[in-house]
Structure 1
Amino acid sequence: MENKNSFTLIDEQNGNLALKILPFQDRSFFDHIQRLNYFSVLLILEGDGIIKADYSEFNLRKDLLLCFAPYQPFLIQASSRLQGIALHFHSDFFCILKHHKEISCNGVLFNNAYSSPIVYLLEEERIEFIKLIESMKKEMVATQIAQYEAIISYLKLFLINASRIKVSQNPVQQTSVNELAEPMLVQKLKDSIELNFRAKRSLSDYANLLNINSRSLGTLSKKYFNKTITDLISERIIIEAKRELYLTSKSVKEIAYELGFSDEFYFSRFFKNTVDISPSNYRETVGFARAE
């Protein structure tokens, strides 16, 4: 049901949603799996409970930003009143991949297998984000000259500020001095997956690369990423597949081969089982802007 307090901007070229600002005060908004074909940022103003995203669970509280990429599954199980503001924007309106050098939020706020979707906010930071949202809302109803450009400027500021805050919240900074060896191993694990995810797909592969037993590596992965090694590898493959589908004109068969799948149909099944949509439908609904 449409929220009468929401603000929606429609893409004049294709009639699809470009940007939407949606206040919510009801636990039912996100209490079932969400797989949206646009980017979503949720500013949580009130509530507690559990956030489920991809393969992990996180604690919910007020003063959070939750950042989700297109078709990234998530839901919120709130145990009390849930209040906040949802900011949705489509890639055709603003593509974070094409504007990565300007705002650097890809891999920070979105599309990072090793990071949670959460940005923790101080009270003054939350107030600034609300001001930016209010500025976007004013532009959405004003319909003045250069309306889109003004809205995108505020959206860029929103994402830049969120990225800066997220970068300052290094999850291993809370590690005690006695555990300094572990963060080094965590970084080696990330580097190994980045180098080998196309060819190596098992826990034992990475245990051998890092010269550590499989059980210890599995425990380390759960401790620092709240995910299994298999989860990390699968998510990294999907992130790369999404990037290729959106930014290039390569066929699904080409992308499958480059990601280490000898069978295009097996890749398509893997993608659909994970994302809940076929690669071709993902390309069509998320948008397609060639970078070549």
Structure 2
Amino acid sequence: MTHYYTNSLKGIILLTNNLPAVLAGHKTNDLYKFIWIQEGKATLVVDHVEKTLGKDEFISLSPLHDIKIKKAEGKYIGLLFNSEFYSIYKHDEEVSCNGLLFNGTSRIVNMQLPEITIRQLYEVIDKMRDEFLLNDSLEGEMLRLLLKRFIILCTRLAREHFSDSQKKESGFDIIRQYSILVDKHFKEKKRVADYAEMLHRSPKTLSNIFASYQLPSPLRIIHERIITEAKRLLLKSPASVKEIATILGFEHVCTFSRFFKHIMGENISDYRRRNSK
């Protein structure tokens, strides 16, 4: 069953156990997505990469991620919403999930839910179902509050997943802000020094912070964002390699080609031909 709510500002929130039907019947490239496997397992294809999730695993996807359900054995829940319903940018101080749960790279947040979080999320989902059925003038606001609680619970879990109690919150927030800035500026800014300046830190300090959380280097984060966008454009748009190089901020197509082969280990034409099949 799929529960659906939309408001006069084109805000949308969906709760479903039938994602293929939702993906086929709705324009979903503007939707943020949570997928929670409750029983059994499911095989997803995210940005042309196959991923299998087991019981009580969940992933969060931004509107940029292309997703298909290849196989589902058991039960799962999909919670989808757009920025018109709840803007994670506008409410970043409330939920602090931007750049953590949602980013533009293929580094997808995939976590196992502990028992306490499972109980809390079930409680939120049950209350959401009740609100979808009420259909009164306060339905939208109640759904927004419940979605906010759902996001906060997932954000807390993600923070615990990537850090520990001995590390300062400020370091984690710098990593999150760095990811947000890379998402926004990767086409024109490709040096760690550019982002370090915006964050009022030195490149070395940023590298040390990322290393302390056992994360890829700040430069690798930039490269991953560029290459993820390159793959999306190569596979989802008719643009030429030269046009894509320009879109991504490369002055010369040969520079883009060398960068792509260095990161991916194969040239652009081979990658496009192999994945287009």
The TM-score normalised by the length of structure 1 is 0.54
8 A Cα contact 1:197 1:237, kept in partner:
no
Whether contact under 8 Å (2:6, 2:12) holds in the other structure is: yes
Alignment partners' CA distance in 2, 1:36 and 1:130: 26
Aligned partner letter, 1:234: I
Equivalent-residue separation in structure 1 for 2:186 and 2:17 (angstroms): 42
- Structure 1 residues 245-284: aligned runs within 5 Å: 260=249
Query: Which residue of the partner structure matches residue 60 of structure 1?
Result: 53
1:6 aligns with 2:27: no
Note the C-alpha offset of 1:29: 7.5
Shift in Å at residue 9 of structure 1? 0.7
SS at match of 2:33: strand
The answer on whether the counterparts of 1:198 and 1:258 sit within 8 Å (CA) in structure 2 is no
Q: CA deviation at 1:164?
A: 0.7
The 3 A distance-change label for structure 1 pair 234 and 35 is farther
CA distance in 2, matches of 1:196, 1:37: 20
Deviations 1:71-90 (A, max 9, x none): 41123433x61421111112
Tell whether the 8 Å contact from 2:128 to 2:146 is kept in structure 1 after alignment.
yes
Match of 1:72 among 57, 65, 71: 65
5+ residue gaps in structure 1? 174-186, 202-208, 211-219, 239-255, 264-292
Q: Identity of paired residues, percent?
A: 22
* Paired residues of 1:35 and 1:70 also in contact (CA < 8 A): yes
The SS at the match of 2:76 is strand
Shift of residue 258 of structure 1? Answer: 10
Distance 1:99 1:57, change over 3 A: same
Q: Tell me which amino acid in the other structure corresponds to 2:117.
A: E
Distance, in Å, in 1 between the alignment partners of 2:81 and 2:152 is: 15
The match for 1:285 is none
User: What is aligned with 2:73?
Assistant: 81
Write the distance in 2 (CA, Å) between the matches of 1:21 and 1:200. 38
> Aligned letter for 2:115?
E
User: How far is 1:261 from its partner?
Assistant: 5.8
Tell me, in whole angstroms, the C-alpha distance in 2 between the residues paired with 1:19 and 1:88: 6
Secondary structure of the residue aligned to 1:126 is helix
Tell me the CA shift for residue 35 of structure 1. 5.5
Q: TM-score, normalization: structure 2? A: 0.57
Q: 1:231 to 1:125 in 2, by over 3 A?
A: same
Residues 1:198 and 2:194 are matched in the alignment: no
Q: Distance in 2 between matches of 1:30 and 1:123?
A: 30
> Do the aligned partners of 1:30 and 1:76 also contact (CA within 8 Å) in 2?
no
The 8 Å contact of residues 198 and 237 in structure 1, kept in 2 or not, is answered as no
Distance 2:221 2:94 in 1: 33
**Cα distance per residue 1:135-166 (max 9 Å; x no partner):** 11212222345322221111100000001101
Partner residue of 1:99?
Answer: 91
**What is the CA-CA distance between 1:53 and the residue it aligns to?**
2.2
When the two chains are superposed, the root-mean-square deviation of aligned CA atoms in Å is 4.4
Q: Does the 8 Å CA contact 2:2/2:17 hold for their aligned counterparts?
A: yes
Select 1:36's aligned residue among 29, 34, 42.
29
What is the 5 A alignment of 1:22-171?
22-24=16-18, 36-48=29-41, 50-54=43-47, 56-78=49-71, 81-111=73-103, 113=105, 115-170=107-162
Q: Take 1:259 and 1:77, find their aligned partners in 2: how far apart are those partners? A: 31
The answer to whether the Cα contact below 8 Å between 2:41 and 2:55 also exists between their aligned partners in 1 is yes
Q: 1:145 to 1:10 in 2, by over 3 A?
A: closer
- Give, in whole Å, the separation in 1 of the partners of 2:13 and 2:223: 34
Structure-2 change in CA distance of 1:94 and 1:200 (3 Å): closer
Aligned-partner residue type, residue 10 of structure 1: T
Q: Deviation per CA, 1:35-76: give whole Å up to 9, x if none.
A: 532111111112335433236544411101221111411234
Q: What is the letter of the counterpart of residue 2 of structure 2?
A: S
CA distance in structure 1 between the aligned counterparts of 2:186 and 2:133, rounded to whole angstroms: 49
Question: Match for 1:40: what amino acid?
Answer: K
